[in-house]
Amino acid sequence: MKTIKAFSVHFPASARRSLYWGVLGLICSGLIAFFIANIYSIPLALIVFLVLGILLLTALTMHLNVLYQEPLVALASKLAPQSAGRALDIADQFAQIEQNLSLIAENLNARSREVSELAERLQSIFDATEEAIIAIRAPNELLAANMAAYRLFELPKSAVVPTAESFFFKAPPIIGIIETCLKEGHAFLDQFSMLKDNHELILTAKGRRFRVGDTDGVVIVINDITSLKKMELLKKNFVANVSHELRTPVQIIKGYAELLDGAEIDEECHSWARVIGHQAARMERIVADLLMLAKLEQDPASWIVKERFPLRSVLAEAVRTLRLQYVDSGAIELDCPQNLKVYANPGLIEQAAFNLMANAVQHSGSHEKILVSVSQEDHDVVLRVRDFGAGIAPKDLAHIFERFYRADRVRSSVSGSGISHSPPSGSSGLGLAIVKHIALAHGGTVRAESWAGEGSLFEFRFPNVTENAGAVDPSRELPSVPPASSEQAPTPNRDMSTEAP
């Protein structure tokens, strides 16, 4: 049995009011006609009733026309501003509205297609990116993740959207990044490990906060640097092994060159022997610097022995060694408190001071002085070396602590006075890199400032901790790095134009 649905017509309030007024007008017209028929005649009453009905119908029609035409005119003017102010009847207005709505629908469809195509392109780029990218809505809703992220965390790209905790189950440190980003706006995790297929992965992650509607969200970018770390370790091991293997043949070459130079041969052969000895000594220093750098880069805390010693005596020995190697150097003014004692490795501190002063001598004229000062700032000891040479170009300043980096050759070979101060055997280009790693090994920092034509200032800072707070137990039977001796003067390991940050 079919059920009949109730059908009702809803009249707007304005139409109902017009209908009420029309019925009231007809009643009034009928009463007027009734009185006229009693006083005059029935035909006259009918004529009056008909005229009043026509007038009432005309008034109601005009009222309804105005009532419904005004919103249509307003709608038509909004959809087609060029038609505003023109007199159109309702049919024309409906036609104009229909035409404009069709154009709007076509534009919306075109925009929808463009948005869909753009979304597809962005998704393709998103999935093709090698970095894992994950978007999270606070507090832990997963908004989106690319294919690299699903592969990294070995999760299926299923319809069930996991939470952030379940997605990062293998990498809990990332949850901390999300919390930091929501509080501070950005975060960076330099390095962390994660197990995948029984292999350790080394990852870095960074995040940034963004708005998602009325709430905050976080986008996380994760890089897998495992292969880079392995290559870096292989490179360091290769350099260390090659340097170690080169040391013996270089020493043999140097020894035979010295024997030839002392033999009874003609002067030309003597000059050849001196050139061979000169270059062998340079190679020997490069090998020594490479071995020192490799040792500093690989767990220095396991072999560095620290002790408390007066810093001024160590710096004075570095100045004495420097003057033996650079006989034409200018005055070196040492300002260090007599009673200042530091807790560090004396050999490494002397090496760092020598490298900084040697660099200053190389880039200053013979008449220019070198200022070496030491101060105690809170719990840190700060060693500053100031030269008055040509200065360092801004483009080179950010790289001077990199190994083998060389700035402009003019600064590397000629001082402000035009006199070359390159050491007798040349520099290895590793001195500033060694200084940086000595600072890091002591929990400190090194930085440089420079002014064109006025010289440079290098600041070597390290904490002056006590024996109990030291990272290395001084009672352990580990050999410390011996201070530079006069027999083997440490070469100007750091050439500002040749050093790398």
Q: Would residue 378 be called left, alpha or beta, if left means φ above 0 and alpha means ψ between -120 and 50 degrees?
A: left
Smallest CA-to-CA distance from 372 within 324, 425, 423, 314 is with 314
Pairing relation of β-strands 199-212 and 215-224? antiparallel
Determine if the peptide bond prior to 394 is cis (ω within 30°): no
Quote the pLDDT of residue 499: 36
Q: What is the assigned CATH class of domain 228-295? A: mainly alpha
CB 385 within 8 A of CB 294: no
The long-range contacts involving 117-124, CB below 8 angstroms and separated by at least 24 positions, are: none
Cα–Cα distance, 155 to 157 (Å, whole number): 6
Q: Which two tokens stand for residue 57?
A: 């119908």
pLDDT tens track for 418-428: 333 444 444 56
Cα–Cα distance, 287 to 239 (Å, whole number): 9
CB 273 within 8 A of CB 253: no
Q: Which two tokens stand for residue 79?
A: 């959809």
Q: 3-class secondary structure for 477-489?
A: CCCCCCCCCCCCC
Quote the pLDDT of residue 223: 93
pLDDT of residue 404 exceeding 70 = yes
CA 173, chain centre distance (Å): 19
Helices (H), 305-391: 311-325, 346-362
Quote the pLDDT of residue 478: 32
Q: Which has the higher per-residue pLDDT, 501 or 163?
A: 163
In angstroms, the first-to-last Cα distance of the chain is 91
Place of tokens 């005004």: 70
Cα–Cα distance, 98 to 96 (Å, whole number): 5
Quote the pLDDT of residue 356: 92
Quote the pLDDT of residue 476: 33
pLDDT tens track for 439-450: 999 999 999 998
Q: How confident is the model at residue 82 (pLDDT cuts 50, 70, 90)?
A: low
pLDDT of residue 411 exceeding 80 = no
pLDDT of residue 340 exceeding 60 = yes
* Mean pLDDT value of segment 200-218: 90
Q: Would residue 429 be called left, alpha or beta, if left means φ above 0 and alpha means ψ between -120 and 50 degrees?
A: left
Smallest CA-to-CA distance from 276 within 243, 249, 316, 305 is with 249
Q: 43-47, 75-79, 299-303, 487-491: lowest mean pLDDT where? A: 487-491
1.10.10.60, 3.30.450.20, 3.40.718.10, 1.20.1560.10: CATH of 130-224: 3.30.450.20
The overall average pLDDT reported for the chain is 78
Q: Which has the higher per-residue pLDDT, 492 or 127?
A: 127
Cα–Cα distance, 238 to 294 (Å, whole number): 10
pLDDT tens track for 5-40: 554 556 667 767 777 887 888 888 888 888 888 888
DSSP H or E run through 69? helix 42-79
Q: 47-51, 234-238, 297-301: lowest mean pLDDT where? A: 297-301
DSSP H or E run through 259? helix 226-262
Quote the pLDDT of residue 203: 93
Which fold would CATH assign to domain 301-463? Heat Shock Protein 90 (3.30.565)
pLDDT tens track for 452-484: 888 899 999 999 876 544 443 333 333 333 333
Query: DSSP readout, 130-199?
Result: SSEEEEEETTTEEEEE-HHHHHHTT----SSPPBHHHHTTT-THHHHHHHHHHHHSEEEEEEEEEEETTE
Residue 6, C-beta contacts closer than 8 angstroms, at least 6 positions apart: none
Quote the pLDDT of residue 103: 85
